[in-house]
Copies of this chain bind each other. A is one copy, B any other.
Amino acid sequence: MLAWSARTWHDRCMPPIHDRILMGPGPSNPYPEVTAALTHPVLGHLDPAFLAVLDETMERLRAVFQTSNPLTLPVSGTGSAGMQAAFVNVVRPGDPVVVGVNGLFGERMCEVAARLGAQVVRVEAPWGEPLDPEQIVHAHRAPAVIALVHAETSTGVENDVAAVGAAKGDALLIADTVTSLGGIPVAVDDWHVDICYGGTQKCLGVPPGLAPLTADATARERFVPRPSSWYLDLTLLSQYVEGKGGTRVYHHTAPVTMINALHAGLGAVLDEGLDAVWARHRECGQLLQAGLEKLGFSLFAAAGHRLPELTTVTVPDDLPKGMDEAGVRAHLLEHYDIEIGGGAGQLAGKVWRIGCMGHTARPRNVLALLGALEELFGR
């Protein structure tokens, strides 16, 4: 066997522990209730005591998605697994799939759909601008699927999912709410979204690792009977989370600890109340965006379409002496223990992305970052 270097208990159990204010594009800081729930004893995935937690988690997810869909579950993977699950269960080779693209995650939808053999029809808007719902619903005469991202994490722009849902016709509508769920209103039933997925690590204030997903009856009728991914087969997953003939059919071992954490995070969100949580995200976003402009920074996303929970800032020309844009982020991380994100895709090096999501969405965190930027830029 390979030798393992001698390590002391201290080395193993107490590595240097860093504690940051997480103001990147995700993960955010978890709610304190979530951290507590992570330590609950592990239970078996068929233990009635765990199944009660799972059932309640599904009920709480229905509340934040604003849906009555029975099939509303935490998919056992990160938000991107939610995207993969949404597409693999409904896309058949040759299907026309209309995708709205105004950022990295719209691009990713095209790639995921293309790999499944879809005929992808792209409807683009410049990064930083919103998609045009009219253009999307008229892009193809009979799309099997229309897909778009509600909150583009790469640009900080909100797209109008409701307008697309109102005019989608017979197509299935897939909406990505990874960066909106629990931060700004998401109304799956009212908006006629057929499959909607999110992530835990953004506005829900839970660590990354699960993808909340909901699918309505129309989507279920059109599920591919035996999708190429066994792991993300929603029909099989439904037989565990909903049961089949009164029995829970084992599919894979549910990630019980992360589900406990999600259960607690959703409890925190729902106890505060969705209206109050949305208001808190909105207020923090306004405080941040006004503060940045007051310091002389330019916001990147188009006015009127800016997400409060994810702000993009154009990297200024007058960077602190000796620093490039990555150096600014590294300094914030090392000196202030504050993480902000760099640009992604075509915006790499051009913008910073500042998240204010979940438990991070507190005025104290916004003020700490503004103070750090003021000090660092000498403004």
Judge whether A15 is part of the interface by a CB distance below 8 angstroms.
yes
**Is A312 part of the contact surface with B, judged by Cβ < 8 Å?**
no
Q: How large is the interface on A (under 10, 10 to 19, 20 to 34, 35 or more residues)?
A: 35 or more
Partner of A257, one of B20, B209, B227, B270: B209
What is the bound-complex CA distance between A7 and B187, given in angstroms? 22
Known: A81-B231, A255-B209, A270-B4. A39 touches B47 (CB 8 A): no
Residues facing B in A31-67 (CB within 8 A) are 33, 35-49, 53, 60, 62-63, 66
Q: How far is the CA of A235 from the CA of B254 in the complex (A)?
A: 26
When A115-B226, A231-B77, A270-B4 are in contact, do A27 and B12 touch as well, CB less than 8 Å? no
Verify if A372 is at the interface (C-beta below 8 Å from B): no
Tell me, rounded to whole Å, the shortest Cβ–Cβ distance linking A190 to chain B.
Answer: 10
A24 to B256, alpha carbons, bound, how many Å?
A: 14
Pairwise interchain contact B27-A264, C-beta atoms closer than 8 A? no
Whether the Cβ atoms of B81 and A77 lie closer than 8 Å is: yes
Residues on B with C-beta less than 8 A from A221 are none
Distance (Å) between the CB of A331 and the closest chain B CB? 13
Q: How far is the CB of A273 from chain B (nearest CB, A)?
A: 7
Say yes or no: A78 contacts B252, CB within 8 Å: yes
Known: A13-B33, A39-B35, A207-B255. A44 touches B229 (CB 8 A): no
A248-281 near B? 1/0 per residue, CB < 8 Å:
0011111111100100100110110111000000
